[in-house]
Structure 1
Amino acid sequence: VKIAIKPKSGSVLTQTTKNDIVTQLAPYNVGSVKPDIVDPETTSILITSAIKFDAKSTTKTADTIKSDIINSISNYNTNTLQQFDSIFRYSKLTGIIDDTDPSILSNITTVKMRKDFTPTLGSSNAYSIYFRNALYNPHSGHNSAGGGILSSTGFKIAGDTINEHFLDDDGQGNVRRYYLVSGVKTYANATQGTIDYDTGSITLSSLAISSISNIRGAASTVIELTVTPASNDIIPVRDQIVEIDISNSSISVTADTFVGGSSEAGIGYSTTSSY
């Protein structure tokens, strides 16, 4: 029997603590059934939020309001998410952002999901990554020319010591591997794996990774996969936990420039895309 446990502090238990729990549970084992303590599976949520506020109704600067919003999101992340049965509810998040300060007029917020996997270097292996939430694919071939809805951090493969490789999808269920030549994608394998948009599962086949690229300027032992979900509400399944990666989300706050009550109302006013 596998038991996933999330510690009060930190993200995973030490092996010593896991062994101690198994020992304490031993008297309660039924027959040959023994517990196996495993780490929870974390899905990170990345948000991009463009907030507009009324500068005339507050003495706060945009930076101060941004800091307040980050604190509000952090409280939601800590107090509501990061638990096995806690659903990320999009309307809850956008409401929290709007309610952070009376001067806030609106927010346009988009959501992505990210997971990572640890490859075995120097040998050809298959990998399966499970988002356990449906992925955005409104029609076959969606955004194929733009890389679909999947992106990855970089890595190098056996036999190619020069090019840094990445993954995307073709909108038809195929995961593609490519490298850049003068900023242009060159596909090395158009069927490196599969992506199931209904279940959110990604399978990579026969991938011989020789090294892993740095992520955000730091050495890494994992490869990150980022996808667009079909729904803005994200559900944790079984041993899964969802949490907002605040430090790698994008939050911008600007003063609203709309001028009403005149013949010039709305002219030159720009909005942020919701997609």
Structure 2
Amino acid sequence: EDDETPRYGIVKIGVKAASGSTLTETTKADIVNKLKPYNVASVSPQIVDPETTSVLLTSTVKYDSKSTTKSSDTLKSEITTTVTNYNTNTLQKFDAVYRHSKLTGIIDDVDTSILSNITTIKIRKNFTPTLASSTKYDIYFRNSLFNPHSGHNKSAGGILSSTGFKVTGSDLEQFLDDDGNGNVRRYYLSSGIRTYSNETQGTIDYNTGQITLNSLNVASISNIRGATSTVIEMTVTPNSNDVVPVRDQIVEIDIANSTINVTADSFVGGSADAGVGYTTTSSY
């Protein structure tokens, strides 16, 4: 009953498949049948697929090249392995919270030569549109989103981005962003400049993390990272660096689409330049 759209008399049960991404409909029906002897009064179980919220990392790691014989590529490989193990062993469960300080800590601990890491995150979900049909879509991040003030980053697209698609009646590739005021906008690029086709295509609730797209008529879906896709990806900046799975959600790090840069630090143990010209990485 605390779902965004409550259905009374139904108990949703999220089940993560041991292999593969989701259970087959036959397996779901079999589970429901096996649970029937335990049903309470008019309450019926419904097996649902888990929703995945992907965490995208951008990490800049600095190390002391004088204290190790390892190259930056070797350190990057070791960091990637460590993050992958954290993702597999700690996340990808219904009750597993992505805790940012834990992640940055294990990166620092990969090697004694590592001096620091500045790691930022975005989170991503996708949805499968019904083609050639004017449809409403709800995307639930269920984590608050970054919006420090009204109109935040309006001219640059707010904190929402999407992969491309085309709408019925137009051959222009379209994308989605937000205006920092709670509106989702649809636009296309003209000579690299955003030109808005619809500035009220939907809404974005920065407190709950719910995005609603109204009457979106998708004709086709663009390839994603060079591969044919049946989904549209929605990427946002969360308000917190910790990401919590709610109800049937699972949080996982998208290793393949995260970015890890490892560079030798030029300012170790003091410098005759006293830090002049030293470049730091933004934490935002």
Same fold (TM over 0.5): yes
CA deviation vs aligned residue, 1:52-104 (integer Å, no higher than 9, x gap): 11111111111111011011111111111111111111100000100111110
Q: How does 1:214-253 map to 2 (within 5 A)?
A: 214-253=223-262
Q: Distance in 1 between matches of 2:197 and 2:271?
A: 57
Over the aligned positions, Cα root-mean-square deviation in angstroms equals 1.1
Match of 2:30 in 1: 20
Match of 2:256, SS state, is helix
Q: Distance in 1 between matches of 2:164 and 2:128?
A: 13
What amino acid sits opposite 2:69 in the alignment?
A: T
Question: How does the TM-score come out when normalised to structure 2?
Answer: 0.94
Shift of 1:134: 0.4
| Structure 1 runs not aligned, ≥5 long | none
CA deviation vs aligned residue, 1:213-269 (integer Å, no higher than 9, x gap): 000000000000000000001111111111100100011111111154443131221
| Structure 2 runs not aligned, ≥5 long | 1-10
Q: Distance in 1 between matches of 2:45 and 2:145?
A: 33
Tell me, yes or no, if the aligned pair for 2:64 and 2:268 is still in contact at 8 Å: no
Match of 1:35 in 2: 45
Q: Distance in 2 between matches of 1:195 and 1:28?
A: 40
Question: How does the TM-score come out when normalised to structure 1?
Answer: 0.97
Match of 1:80 in 2: 90
Match of 1:263 in 2: 272
63 and 33 in structure 1: CA distance in 2 versus 1, 3 angstrom threshold: same
Aligned residues: 274
Greater mean alpha carbon deviation, residues 73-82 or residues 146-155: 73-82
What amino acid sits opposite 1:246 in the alignment?
A: I
Q: Distance in 2 between matches of 1:122 and 1:238?
A: 31
Shift of 1:274: 1.0
Greater mean alpha carbon deviation, residues 12-21 or residues 181-190: 12-21
Match of 2:251, SS state, is strand
Does residue 109 in structure 1 map to residue 157 in structure 2? no
Shift of 1:139: 0.3
Match of 1:35, SS state, is strand
What amino acid sits opposite 2:93 in the alignment?
A: Q
Does residue 159 in structure 1 map to residue 169 in structure 2? yes
Match of 2:182 in 1: 173
Q: Distance in 2 between matches of 1:51 and 1:20?
A: 49
Match of 2:215 in 1: 206
Identity of aligned residues (%): 72
What amino acid sits opposite 2:192 in the alignment?
A: G
Q: Distance in 2 between matches of 1:259 and 1:117?
A: 47
What amino acid sits opposite 1:97 in the alignment?
A: I
Q: Which runs of 4+ in 1 moved over 3 A?
A: 259-263
Match of 1:136, SS state, is coil
Match of 1:148, SS state, is coil
Q: 1:90 aligns with which of 89, 100, 106?
A: 100
What amino acid sits opposite 2:278 in the alignment?
A: Y
Shift of 1:22: 1.7
